[in-house]
Structure formats: structure tokens, C-alpha cells
């Protein structure tokens, strides 16, 4: 059964049997800890990337305090690395903000996928939780939901750990300027690729995945080749998911 349909059904069930149904939507401390535990390896490699960000931010002309502030408020590695490439004096504010928006557009799709569960939470919890939605903990949360558990705090627990790792390592990178400059020297550039690959492996449901995933990969590679920045994630995601629905429709 598609995940979306499962989530919708679960909503209905949980409204009727509050506190009883297995897999009902909840938001617990235990869920947050589970999310944090699953995110430990991701947070560790995130620290490596944060050290690099802190270092490169200094080279781009950002003060160390400014870099930490950016990591804490924006909390998006992809967006932050992209804007470092645009950082110049005087600051091209509109370009930087526009680039941030474009890089973040994939979050709209990701948030829509989580919406059947999160829209059942009190508004403050739901809108507070998604601040911590990053690619990695989002992907882990989807895996968790697919496994039948519906603890929305799973996303926040993982996100909080990543937040601490990201801001802390940005701070350290600013303090240790010049120590880490090239993540590929440590193989760290491949850490997230490996995590995403493992999650993809878990999502494999059979031949129906071949067409959408091939389309996603082809469009992503083409966009990565010919378009600047991070368009490839959004375009590949859109093309692949549309291909999947069209395929199902026939």
C-alpha cells in the first residue's frame, strides 16, 4: 500500500482510538531519543562538513560569529555552501536570498510528504518540528513511518542532534581555521551519499521503482551538469515522481 494512503488511514484510526491503536500518531520523548540515536552516525559526519563550512566561511569573508549565526538560523548545509560562493562585498543580498530559496524548494516536497502525520499535531509542534527537517532526518523519518511507527518527534530528535553537531562544528571550524578544508580528503563527501543509498535500498519495492528512479537519476545528472547550484535535486525529484505517477496511471 502506498505510504501516503497508509498515513491517511492511520489518521482516521488514531482519531477514533486515542491511546490504543498501534502505530497511532504520537509525539514522545522516547520517539525523539530514537530519532537522535538513529542520527548519531549522520551527525558525526555532519561535524566534518560543519568544520569545513566554518573554515570556508572565514575564507569567504564571514566572521566566525556570523558563520555560527547562519548555521543556527538557516540550518541548511546545501544552502549555506551555495551562498558562500556568492559572498562578496558589497553583499548581493537579493541574489543570496533567492539562491537560498531555490536550494530550499525541495523542502516543500519533503514537507508535503510528512504532512499527513504532522498536520495532526498541534500547530506549534508541527511548525516548530519542521524547522529541524533536513534531508537526512527526513529520510530516516520516512523510513520510520514506512515501518509502521508514527512518532513525529523522531524527526525532531534527529534534527536537534544534527543542529547541535552543525552549529558546534561551524563554531569549531571558525576556531580552527585552516585545519579542514577539503572534505573529500577524508572521504566525508561520500558519507551522506552512503546513507542516502542505504535508505534507497530499503525503499526498493520491485520493478515499479525502475522507471521513476531511472528518470530521477537521468534528470538529476543532466541538471547537475548544465544548471548551476542545487536545481538537480528538485528537478530530479519532480521528474522522477511524475514519471512514477504516470506509470501507475496506466
User: By CB under 8 A, is residue 142 in contact with other proteins?
Assistant: yes
Among 90, 122, 178, 206, binds other proteins (CB under 8 A): 90
CB nearer other proteins, residue 148 or residue 187: 187
Of residues 97-136, those binding other proteins (CB under 8 A): 97, 100-101, 104-116, 118-119, 126-127, 130-131, 133, 135
* Selected binder of other proteins within 29, 30, 73, 227 (CB under 8 A): 73
- Judged by CB, which is closer to other proteins: 30, or 176? 176
Using an 8 Å Cβ cutoff, are 139 and 199 in contact? Answer: yes
Q: Is 244 in the site for other proteins (CB under 8 A)?
A: yes
Interface region with other proteins, contact rule CB under 8 A, candidates 11-19, 21-29, 160-168, 215-223: 215-223
Binding residue (CB under 8 A) for other proteins from 21, 125, 149, 189: 189
| Shortest distance in whole angstroms from residue 189 CB to other proteins | 8
Q: In this chain, which of 36, 155, 160, 235 binds other proteins, going by CB under 8 A? A: 235
For residue 203, the minimal CB distance to other proteins (Å) is 5
Choice from 29, 30, 88, 221 touching other proteins (CB under 8 A): 221
Amino acid at each position: 500500500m502506498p505510504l501516503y494512503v497508509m498515513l491517511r488511514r492511520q489518521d482516521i484510526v488514531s482519531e477514533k482510538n486515542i491511546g490504543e491503536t498501534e502505530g497511532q500518531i504520537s509525539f514522545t520523548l522516547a520517539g525523539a531519543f530514537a530519532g537522535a540515536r538513529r542520527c548519531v552516525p549522520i551527525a558525526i559526519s555532519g561535524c566534518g562538513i560543519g568544520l569545513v563550512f566554518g573554515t570556508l566561511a572565514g575564507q569567504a569573508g564571514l566572521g566566525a560569529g556570523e558563520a555560527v549565526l547562519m548555521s543556527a538560523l538557516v540550518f541548511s548545509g546545501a544552502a549555506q555552501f551555495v551562498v558562500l560562493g556568492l559572498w562578496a562585498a558589497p553583499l548581493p543580498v537579493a541574489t543570496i536570498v533567492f539562491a537560498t530559496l531555490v536550494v530550499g524548494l525541495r523542502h516543500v516536497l519533503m514537507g508535503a510528504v510528512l504532512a499527513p502525520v504532522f498536520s495532526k499535531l498541534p500547530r506549534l509542534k508541527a511548525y516548530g518540528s519542521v524547522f529541524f527537517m533536513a534531508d537526512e532526518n527526513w529520510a530516516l523519518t520516512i523510513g520510520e513511518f514506512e515501518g509502521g511507527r508514527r512518532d513525529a518527534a523522531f524527526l525532531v530528535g534527529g534534527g536537534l542532534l544534527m543542529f547541535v553537531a552543525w552549529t558546534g562544528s561551524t563554531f569549531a571550524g571558525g576556531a580552527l581555521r585552516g585545519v579542514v578544508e577539503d572534505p573529500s580528503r577524508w572521504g566525508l563527501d561520500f558519507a551522506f551519499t552512503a546513507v542516502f543509498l542505504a535508505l534507497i535500498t530499503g525503499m526498493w519495492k520491485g520493478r515499479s521503482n525502475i522507471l521513476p528512479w531511472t528518470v530521477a537519476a537521468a534528470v538529476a545528472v543532466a541538471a547537475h551538469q548544465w544548471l548551476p547550484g542545487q536545481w538537480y535535486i528538485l528537478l530530479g525529484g519532480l521528474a522522477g515522481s511524475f514519471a512514477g505517477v504516470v506509470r501507475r496511471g496506466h
